[in-house]
Structures are given as structure tokens and as C-alpha cells.
Amino acid sequence: MSDRACVRGCTTRGVHFATCADYGKEVGATCQGCAPEPARDGALICDRCFRRIRRHLDNAPDLVGRLRSLSDPMAAAVYDRVRVSGGGTEAPAPTPPDLIDASDDVMRTLRSWAVYVDPRSGILGGMPAGAGALAAYDYARHCANVILGDFDRLANRRDEILQLGDAVLTRHPADAEGIRSFWSIVDTVSRYRLERPDAAVLVDAQDDEDREVVVGGIEEWRDRLITRAEAEREQYAASGATLRRWVAKELIVPRAVTYGPMGKVTWFRESELLALRAEMDARVGRPRKARP
């Protein structure tokens, strides 16, 4: 156990200084805890901050891809919605300024920290203009991997971890006109979520106020949308013919179709593909291959 306290000022829930009015109280305490949280061994932040920053950085590429999809004015052919045909065409709605600002700030955070960690990482040229959701995801994933690869060192350097923690975890409330000075990753996740913005979620403030859990306790972070090309890989349908057969029999339903720089892209829910593949393997008594 480290004898240092978390430099981000975290306190230990239910533990109080001797000078605190709630010190020694078993019931009726109004203070949530004022004693500092010990820093993680080999780091200047506590275990909770360490895990949260790493997790948000790891999920940031999915967030960037989602923001790019939302900002594409042509990306909205969702299969769950009832379609109504009509004779006229409707101009796409303008992209909300908040969405653009959030996307730019998250991508700027990832890129600037990746360049700081490794100027030779091959990302100095920046993401191509007009990049679609998949290209944005790939670029953001490369940046996040560079940062995470050096995260242990960053966590033991005061200035670096304070600045990185601010860019990832600190909330920046909007002013009276609804403008934020900066969108941290937590600000953006809280506003736009990672996937399924219509899903009912619970926020567990007792453990981690930023951990989103779908009602029923199913973690939503990893249930991503994947393209048709990805869905045809070995761990899912294993072939294009099999995927087409599943879709024709309505065993699997595409969740969205987007139109953008990549052309027409069909998206499937990863968890649904994995569940269907497991069901099909069980029917024929085939051992399930480990997911790479």
C-alpha cells in the first residue's frame, strides 16, 4: 500500500479526519468521507482513478466512431424504425454544434496525448478530412493504444496525470448559454453514450458515477456495432453466404445502414451475432472456437 494520497484529491468513502464533525458517527453522517484515498502503488492516483482513466481511454475509439456516425447527415437508416415512403425528399438536418465540439475535443485529446507520448507514432499527419465512422475509429484506436502503452509511466508523473485526468474525467458544466469550455471524455459519454442511446441505463454513483449499466445488469460498453465485413469473419458468421442466410431467415437483423464516405455500410450488433453463432454451434455439436 502506498503512503501517498491521490493527487486528484479523491477521498475514502466513510473515512473521516479526527477533526470532522462526523468522525466516529455510525449513523446520521452528512460527510461522505474526507480522509484522502491512498495512491496506487507506483502511481500518484488511486486505484479508482487509474481504472477509470484507462477504461475511458480504451472506450474512446468507440465513442469517436459513434460521434462520427451521428454527425453524418446521411447516416440514419435504422432498422428498428418504421419506414414511411413519400414522394418528396427532405434535406438532412444540420449537425448540432455540441456534437461537433464534443467530437473535436475528444479526438484532439487522443491525438495530442498520443503525439506527446510518442512523436514517432505515425499519427502526426492527423486523421484524413471527411473520414467516416470506421476510419475515425481506427485512427482513435491507434492514438488510444499509444497512450495506454505508456499509461503506467504517465500515472506516476504529477503534471502529466493531472492534465490527462482533467481531459478524461473532469466534468465541465455548460454556462448560462449552454456552451462548454471543453468536452472531456466523461462529458461526452454522459451526453452521447457509447452505443444504444435509447437504452435504459442506471448510474451507480456508489461505485463509479460514470459506469453505465443497462437495466438488468448487462454491461453496455463492449456491445458494439460491427460492419457486414466484420460479421462475416470466423468468430461470427464465418462466411458471407452464412450471414446472408441468417438475415434471409431473420435469425439476425441488421441494426443500421449508413451512407457516407465509405458508401453504404450495414451494421450488426456484435452480441447478437455471438449469441446466434453459439446457438448454431450447439445445434450441430461443434465446439465453440475461442474469440481472438
Residue 273 lies in a domain: yes
Mean pLDDT of the chain: 75
Residues 179 and 263 in one domain: no
CA dihedral angle for residue 242, residue 248, residue 251, residue 256, rounded to 10 degrees: 100
Residues 202 and 259 in one domain: no
Q: Which amino acid is at 97?
A: P
Q: Which amino acid is at 174?
A: A
Residues 185 and 250 in one domain: no
Residues 128 and 271 in one domain: no
d(CA 37, CA 272): 40
Asked if residues 133 and 230 have their Cβ atoms less than 8 Å apart, the reply is: no
Model confidence at 23: pLDDT above 80:
no
Percent of the chain with pLDDT over 90: 27
Residue 289 lies in a domain: no
Q: CB neighbours of 84 closer than 8 A, spacing ≥ 6? A: none
Model confidence at 255: pLDDT above 70:
yes
Residues 194 and 73 in one domain: yes
- Predicted local confidence at residue 220, as pLDDT: 38
Model confidence at 167: pLDDT above 70:
yes
Residues 205 and 242 in one domain: no
239 HSE (CA, 13 A, CB side) = 3
Residue 13 lies in a domain: yes
**Mean pLDDT for the stretch of residues 175-204:** 68
pLDDT in tens, 108-120: 999 999 999 988 7
Q: Which residue has the higher pLDDT, 50 or 100?
A: 50
Domain count for the chain, please give it.
3
* Domain with 65 in it: 47-83+96-219
Q: CB neighbours of 162 closer than 8 A, spacing ≥ 6? A: 7, 8
Residues 189 and 205 in one domain: yes
**Mean pLDDT for the stretch of residues 8-23:** 77
And the C-alpha cell for 266? 450495414
pLDDT category at 160 given cuts 50, 70, 90 is very high
- Predicted local confidence at residue 262, as pLDDT: 56
